Structure 1
Amino acid sequence: MMNKPTVKVGIVAVSRDCFPESLSVTRRQNLVNAYKAKYNADEIYECPVCIVESEIHMMQALDDIKKAGCNALCVYLGNFGPEISETMLAQYFDGPKMFVAAAEETSENGGLVQGRGDAYCGMLNASYNLKLRNVKAYIPEYPVGTAEECADMIHEFIPVAKAVYALSNLKIISFGPRPTNFLACNAPIKQLYNLGVEIEENSELDLFEAFNKHAGDERIPEVVKSMEKELGNGNKKPEILPKLAQYELTLLDWVEQHKGSRKFVAVAGKCWPAFQTQFGFVPCYVNSRLTAMGIPVSCEVDIYGALSEFIGAVVSDDTVTLLDINNTVPSDIYEQDIKGKFPYTIKDTFMGFHCGNTAACKLSFCEMRNQMIMARSLPEEVTNGTLEGDIIPGDITFFRLQSTSDAKLTAYVAQGEVLPVATRSFGAIGIFAIPQMGRFYRHWLIEKNFPHHGAVAFGHFGKQLYEVFKYLGVEEIGFNQPAGMLYKSENPFAN
């Protein structure tokens, strides 16, 4: 299934009736031409039926962009703009929306006399009216610009719009209650509904029954071949592949049969304590393969982890992963491989780890192994199924959207990198470096009661994720604050 949205932004120009309509027409055409010259023309649609000056025009424009298949909206203030009808357009449009405004240019007809649009002023009134109507809209950092600059703003809106649209069409499918001693991942689901996300909670028995019904599925050999090809020399547990293939088909069929009215799906799966003994394996490798297919699967029934992974996959248009903020980097490894070679203190570093759910394409090398931690108390043969290896070095964004225990949305976004340093450890693991991580760990992650799971996008997507969380109404968004910028809980006399 196609599990990521495409966005088509309808560009609707507006004009206040006492300003020249021709100014908005010309500026809209220039904006559209600038976008098509630089970006994918299929991402936008120029509404030609009218320039919105009134409520009647607003309804005409709304009908036109709906018929054109637009699922996102850009209200373009070619001049001052009609604050009522332009914000009504945003109110009645069912999807993500943004507002941008035209900068003045003396080369236009009339210069700064007949050709002055005052959209700089009009944006203030637009924002006031949006608040009156309780309408959420994306407004760029500096929302007034030339045609080329506004084209760039729309392009930056695309990943934000994709994420917002996708969430309103998402179903998260979960299996089983959270494992005991994992209350941190057991957050209230009320906020999912507030975001427009649907949730389907199932029993482990439901999943086990479906798995057993897939025994002997004629598709299993083909999936095994796919796994063998992906693992290559890392195929150290070939005897477990048929069962893993059976499980993969079980999940894929469940997703297809249960997505219902929704277009997109993420999964929060169970992986212990009874999973191994009853299924006969651990699901880590299968989780990684579905995530690489664009269907994020979190472990330990981490519903908000699955939500975060899905957002990251949409924004980055790439495979993501979910990791524990797990352990410190030993001082001897830091002294030998990091100090003096990279601009980080030891407190800026940590190891991000999970048993084996990171996709092969995001590992420097990979091997199929057994889950070492579980094998300490269980027969080794039922703990096979992890994909282990060091995570590829490069830029990353570590983030999470979470509900607090009293059902309030909170989030964090931190940019950093995975260092090209061998971990000397097990699991899917990497040495992460985030500037000022030590302070961020204490004064945001601990202070704000975040769980140990964090989503990882491969690349720097902090700007886009921050805007997504703002659009969703998250009031507190943490980030790794630079030195000298104190957290609220930070003691100013500590250093």
Structure 2
Amino acid sequence: MSVDTQTQVKNAASQLSVGYVSFGRATFDIEAANQLSAESREVLKRQPNQWHFIDSLVVDPQSAEAAAQQLSGKIDVLLCQFTTFVDARYIDILASELKVPCILWAIREPNQKFGERLSLNSLTGANAAGQRLRNMGIPFRLVYGNADEPSFEDSLQVALRFWAAWRKLQQFHVITLGDAPEGFFFSQPSASVCRQLGIDITHLDLNDTFQRAASVSETVSDVEIEQIKQQVRAIEHLPPESVKKFAQMISVLKAELHQLKADAVAVRCWPEFFTEFGAAACSTISALTDTGIMGSCEADVLGSLSMDVLYQLTGSPAYLGDLVEVREEEGAVVFWHCGAGAFSLARNDTGAVAGKHPNREIGFTLEFGLKPGRISLLRIGEDQGGQVRALIGSGEVLDVPQRFRGTSACVRLDGDADVAKRVVNVMEAGFEPHYAFAYGDAVEELARVLTLMKIPVTRF
């Protein structure tokens, strides 16, 4: 299945509830300001977010107060359009009441004739508002351009994705299916880290989930099986029982995740999935990740958060893998996992192929090398003092065949430093052995959002 990147990106940011206000002042071209505001609202309505529009221009402190009351408690982000210059009183009123991140929108000066009146002066209004927000401690982004410009839509989406990722770093609800496997101490974050990041963990009992999955009817499971046949090759070569168990398990987890309004799932994928349930968890994790619900192996909670932050910023389903090989001759490293990976990340020439677990010989897992392309890397982790920290990087997935059974990617890291030394530095710094990456150039956005959250950043 191919990825429609634009659709994926919009889906990632569409969870935000966004308020829209437009500011104007009568001493500038107020007729043009009203027309620009109306045209902008029509463009924004085509975006997938939940919008809350203030239809009339905010032209004085009284209308700013009314807009603040109308939006209070309803939005995650405020989009403020400066159709003309206005002073900072209006943003002060709105920001003081709403206390949400802002996107300041400056539009282009329409008067292109030399020596004539400045008709809107939008950019100065946004400048004044940004200075006031900075002093108030309210985070903001600036976008510049007119609503009908394709580049403006891209800039707006970047800003919305940024605030979606920022929100996940403060408010993240993850389902853990079972406990971490023995010795995987890093998979369960400390209480201190959960408080720092606002992580809410809901635990599901593994054996109870197995029993509920076993009771799923064939009518329900057959729907999942037919869908998976359209996405994954060679299903017909697997024992039907392992495919049926996949369909039963994903049916149960989809319902649980929806009911609990969870952002992601972290799964104890061994040994009980093999020994008690009789199937691999890899395919379930892969299928959920492909739909935008990030799933991590080995009950890795911060791994699932790392994946979700990347998904919010890039719109690409993220991959979580072990760092298993250094290839000095290519300046690359290999990330691998034993059978999990969103179907849409597979190479086009092979697609996502169904297989059996390389160690357990139980299905079904995924078999493919990841497609070539630019990636951004993230590992949100915990230092020895119980504080949050992060590792970020960027690189290129090379156009090479599948390296090991399971799913794998050979990634050439950006930068000239010796790749083996870089790996030594990362591991000696004690970073966790699961690394997330997603397709897209988002490393600078990652650095920016982590800095905003006061999370120390190490570059790979």
Match of 2:54 in 1: 47
Q: Equivalent residues in 2 for 1:240-279 (5 A)?
A: 240-257=242-259, 259=260, 262=261, 264-279=262-277
Counterpart pick for 2:308 among 310, 325, 329: 310
Q: Contact 1:440 / 1:479 at 8 angstroms: preserved in 2? A: no
Note the C-alpha offset of 1:23. 4.9
The answer for unaligned runs of 5 or more in structure 2 is 1-9
The range that moved more, 227-236 or 350-359, is 227-236
For the pair 1:477 / 2:457, whether they are aligned, the reply is: yes
The range that moved more, 77-86 or 100-109, is 100-109
For the pair 1:224 / 2:240, whether they are aligned, the reply is: no
Match of 2:325 in 1: 327
Match of 2:5 in 1: none
For the pair 1:74 / 2:79, whether they are aligned, the reply is: yes
TM-superposition CA deviations, 1:4-63 (whole Å, max 9, x none): 552564442346xxx755357745754774796799466677633232542x33221224
TM-superposition CA deviations, 1:245-273 (whole Å, max 9, x none): 2222222232233x1xx4x5310110123
Match of 1:135 in 2: 138
Q: Which amino acid aligns with 1:237?
A: L
Cα distance in 2 for residues equivalent to 1:168 and 1:206: 30
Note the C-alpha offset of 1:275. 3.5
Q: CA RMSD in A?
A: 3.9
Q: Which amino acid aligns with 1:476?
A: P
TM superposition score normalised by structure 1:
0.74
Note the C-alpha offset of 1:89. 1.3
The range that moved more, 243-252 or 435-444, is 435-444
Q: Contact 1:9 / 1:71 at 8 angstroms: preserved in 2? A: yes
Q: Equivalent residues in 2 for 1:263-302 (5 A)?
A: 264-302=262-300
Counterpart pick for 2:363 among 374, 384, 392: 384
Cα distance in 2 for residues equivalent to 1:231 and 1:144: 42
Aligned in 2, Cα 1:90/1:146: closer, same or farther, shift over 3 Å?
same
Q: Which amino acid aligns with 1:22?
A: F
Match of 2:180 in 1: 178
Q: How many residues align structurally? A: 441
Cα distance in 2 for residues equivalent to 1:26 and 1:441: 55
TM-superposition CA deviations, 1:351-389 (whole Å, max 9, x none): 11111111233223344333224x3xxxx4xx4332112
Q: Which amino acid aligns with 2:227?
A: S
Cα distance in 2 for residues equivalent to 1:42 and 1:289: 23
* Secondary structure of the corresponding residue to residue 234 of structure 2: helix
Q: Contact 1:187 / 1:404 at 8 angstroms: preserved in 2? A: no
Note the C-alpha offset of 1:93. 2.6
Cα distance in 1 for residues equivalent to 2:431 and 2:83: 44
Q: Contact 1:308 / 1:399 at 8 angstroms: preserved in 2? A: yes
Cα distance in 2 for residues equivalent to 1:250 and 1:371: 22
Match of 1:353 in 2: 336
Q: Which amino acid aligns with 1:388?
A: E
* Secondary structure of the corresponding residue to residue 378 of structure 2: strand
Counterpart pick for 1:409 among 374, 384, 388: 388
Match of 2:67 in 1: 61
Match of 2:436 in 1: 455
* Secondary structure of the corresponding residue to residue 269 of structure 2: coil
The range that moved more, 83-92 or 288-297, is 83-92
Note the C-alpha offset of 1:306. 1.1
Cα distance in 1 for residues equivalent to 2:90 and 2:193: 31
Q: Contact 1:25 / 1:78 at 8 angstroms: preserved in 2? A: no
Q: Contact 1:175 / 1:270 at 8 angstroms: preserved in 2? A: yes
Q: Contact 2:221 / 2:248 at 8 angstroms: preserved in 1? A: yes
Q: Contact 2:290 / 2:317 at 8 angstroms: preserved in 1? A: yes
Cα distance in 2 for residues equivalent to 1:409 and 1:24: 49
Q: Contact 1:397 / 1:457 at 8 angstroms: preserved in 2? A: yes
Cα distance in 1 for residues equivalent to 2:428 and 2:106: 40
Q: Which amino acid aligns with 2:57?
A: C
Cα distance in 2 for residues equivalent to 1:127 and 1:252: 42
The answer for unaligned runs of 5 or more in structure 1 is 335-345, 481-495
Q: Contact 1:319 / 1:359 at 8 angstroms: preserved in 2? A: yes
Counterpart pick for 2:346 among 348, 351, 363: 363
TM-superposition CA deviations, 1:404-444 (whole Å, max 9, x none): 45443333432322111124421101211122372883587
Q: Contact 2:101 / 2:138 at 8 angstroms: preserved in 1? A: no
Q: Contact 1:103 / 1:120 at 8 angstroms: preserved in 2? A: no
Q: Contact 2:326 / 2:420 at 8 angstroms: preserved in 1? A: no
* Secondary structure of the corresponding residue to residue 220 of structure 1: helix
Note the C-alpha offset of 1:172. 0.8
Q: Equivalent residues in 2 for 1:416-455 (5 A)?
A: 416-436=395-415, 438=419, 441-442=422-423, 445-446=426-427, 448-455=429-436
Q: Contact 1:220 / 1:246 at 8 angstroms: preserved in 2? A: yes
